[in-house]
Amino acid sequence: MQSMLNVKFFSSLRELTGQAETELNIQSPLALREVWQRAAADCAIPENTLCAINMEYARLDDIAYDNDEVAFFPPVTGG
């Protein structure tokens, strides 16, 4: 049975990857680092990229499971 992840890219990461959103078919749970590698194939993950699983902040080593929503976004800056 196929499992799915919904992956979203925000702001400059949307421009970097050329996509705002994609779905991944997964065979087993994946660390967020692996999710990035599969969803943004040719793009290295920028340093300090923030991520979330189901709208909760997460780390690149955290695991995403079937039907999770994963989001990647640049760090918030201000002045």
* Closest by Cα among 77, 1, 11, 3 to 38: 3
Q: How many CB atoms lie within 10 A of CB 58?
A: 19
pLDDT band at 79 (very low <50, low <70, confident <90, very high): low
Would the pTM count as exceeding 0.85?
yes
* Closest by Cα among 49, 63, 59, 48 to 14: 49
Ordered by where they begin, the domains of the chain are 3-73 (3.10.20.30)
* Closest by Cα among 19, 6, 4 to 55: 6
Spatial separation of the C-alpha atoms in residues 79 and 76, rounded to whole Å = 10
Residue bearing the bigger pLDDT, 3 or 7: 7
For 18-75, what is each residue's pLDDT tens digit?
A: 999 999 999 999 999 999 999 998 899 999 999 999 999 999 999 999 999 999 999 8
